[in-house]
Structure 1
Amino acid sequence: MKMRLLNVISLVLMTFTLAGCGKGIDIAFITDMGTVYDGSFNQGTYEGVLKYTEETGKTCKVYEPDGVTSDEYLKNIKQAVKDGAEVVVCPGYLFEETIYKAQNKYPKVEFILVDGQPHNADGSDYTVEDNTMPIVFSEEQAGFLAGYAAVRDGNTELGFMGGTNQDSVIRFGYGFVQGADYAAIEMGTNVSIRYCYANTFLESDDVKSMTSAWYKGGTQVIFACGGAMGKSVFAAAEENGGKAIGVDIDQSSVSETIITSAKKELGNAVYQGLANYYDGTFTGGTLYEMDAANAGVGLEMDNARFTSFTREEYDTVFARLVSGGIVPYRATDYGNTSDLELVSTEVYYMELKRNEE
Structure 2
Amino acid sequence: MTRPLRIAFYGSSLLSSYWNGAATYYRGLLADLARRGHRITFYEPDAFDRQQHRDIETPPYAEVRVYPATEDAMRAVVAEAAAADVVVKASGVGVFDDDLLAGVIAASRPEAIRIFWDVDAPATLAEMRADAGHALHRAMPALDLVLTYGGGPPVVAAYEGFGARACIPVYNALDPQTHHPVPPDPRFSADLAFLGNRLPDREARVEQFFLVAAARLPERRFLIGGSGWEGRGLPANVTHVGHVYTRDHNAFNASPRAVLNIARDSMATVGFSPATRVFEAAGAGACLITDAWEGLEFFLKEGEEVLVARDGRDVAEHVAALTPERARAIGAAARARIAAEHTYARRGAEVDAILARAAAEKIAETVGPVLTRSVV
| Superposition TM-score tier, normalisation by shorter sequence | 0.3 to 0.5
Q: Report the TM-score, using the length of structure 2 for normalisation.
A: 0.39
TM-score between the two structures when normalised by the length of structure 1: 0.41
